[in-house]
Structure 1
Amino acid sequence: MENSANATAENAPVDRAAATELWEAYRTARPKVATDVEPPSVERFGDHPELTDELLDLVLAGPKRATATLVAEFEAEDQPLPRVGSHWIACDSTGRPRVILRSTELRIAVLDDVDESFAYDEGEGDRTLASWRDDHVRYWRRSTARLGFEWTPDLEIVLERFDVVWPLAQAAD
């Protein structure tokens, strides 16, 4: 999943104006599915530029159709948990919005609940559960340290599967 040597570098701020433009283009083209009451969240994968772009590239290329986020990360950012059918906009490390994703499956779990199928759908590393656990524990140790507490295997994780829905060149349907 990552080389943590650059884990101290920071991503650029997200371009919210460009994200709004991308969302409006999607809403105009797909009004029957772009029915979110609130504007979608504007996010990025990973916590440093190299990881952000590596994971987004996996989304754009197709193997990454799932992600895992600590519930505590949503809470720290004062964001609601995603809902099935809700959308979010994924940005690259420069802050440029690249794709709109739609949540298709969500569940709350702990580390030991994650199975091979979910690890494979995340599309990272060699796609095994063992490498998924190693990479994610390393990432979550950094995340919880930033949030001011220690990572433990019993922390709740949002396991999310998604589809790429916009732009159409990237969408599965």
Structure 2
Amino acid sequence: MTAAPIPADAATALPPAEFGFPGPLRDKLVAAVLDGSKTATASLLTEYEREREPLPRVGDRSVVLDSAERPVAVIEVTAVRVVPLSEVDLAHAVAEGDTTVAGWRRAHEAFWHSEGMRTALGDPGFTVDDTTPVVLERFRVVAGVSATAS
């Protein structure tokens, strides 16, 4: 982390960065963000469209939440691009902690085809294919979050 920790109450003023759903997957992903082995993430464009949320922009900051919804770090977006699923490259897969694009894709398709994601999208039959637009986001940790209030 590049800066002194900020108080939790200050961090909660930022929008949340939630990796996966609360539980073991989120715990694993948050740990990877904190240890620096995960410096990227991928979302489906349809998630942003469904929620009518703007795409992330370079310089945007958000607070990483753990499975207990506690703030643990502040991240800053360093790059964003939208590509068809078939165009996700090895550099992105590695930045997410995978060693191959095929492994990255298997893991992401399992998540995107999960009951939880299909429920969140309101589409019990939702599936991705090579043409599905994916939002690829790079980020860096800019601060930890201290448990003490300011």
* Structure-1-length-normalised TM-score: 0.71
Structure 1 or 2: more strand by fraction? 2
1:29-75 Cα distance to aligned partner (Å, 9 max, x none): xxxxxxxxxx5321310124111110000011111000000111123
**Structure 1 position 88, deviation (Å):** 1.1
**Structure 1 position 20, deviation (Å):** 4.2
In 2, the alpha carbon distance for the partners of 1:111 and 1:151 equals 12
Unaligned runs of 5+ in 2: 1-6
**Structure 1 position 141, deviation (Å):** 1.1
Q: Is the 8 A contact 1:69 1:158 kept in 2?
A: yes
**Structure 1 position 152, deviation (Å):** 2.3
Counterpart for residue 90 of structure 2: 116
Q: Which residues in structure 2 correspond to 1:141-152 (within 5 Å)?
A: 141-142=113-114, 144-146=117-119, 147-149=121-123, 150-152=126-128
Percent identity, aligned pairs only, is 37
Identify the match of residue 56 of structure 1 among 30, 34, 38. 30
Q: Is the 8 A contact 1:43 1:91 kept in 2?
A: yes
Counterpart for residue 4 of structure 2: none
**Structure 1 position 78, deviation (Å):** 3.2
Counterpart for residue 6 of structure 1: none
Q: Which residues in structure 2 correspond to 1:82-121 (within 5 Å)?
A: 82-121=56-95
Runs of 4+ in 1 over 3 A off after TM superposition: none
Unaligned runs of 5+ in 1: 1-17, 24-38
Counterpart for residue 156 of structure 1: 133
1:2-49 Cα distance to aligned partner (Å, 9 max, x none): xxxxxxxxxxxxxxxx854226xxxxxxxxxxxxxxx53213101241
RMSD across aligned positions (CA): 2.1
In 2, the alpha carbon distance for the partners of 1:144 and 1:95 equals 18
The higher relative CO (CA closer than 8 Å, separation ≥ 6) is in: 2
Counterpart for residue 44 of structure 2: 70
In 2, the alpha carbon distance for the partners of 1:91 and 1:168 equals 10
In 1, the alpha carbon distance for the partners of 2:83 and 2:33 equals 23
In 2, the alpha carbon distance for the partners of 1:122 and 1:163 equals 12
Aligned partner of residue 82 in structure 1, secondary structure? coil
* Structure-2-length-normalised TM-score: 0.81
Q: Flag the 1:19–1:80 CA change in 2: closer, same or farther, 3 A.
A: farther
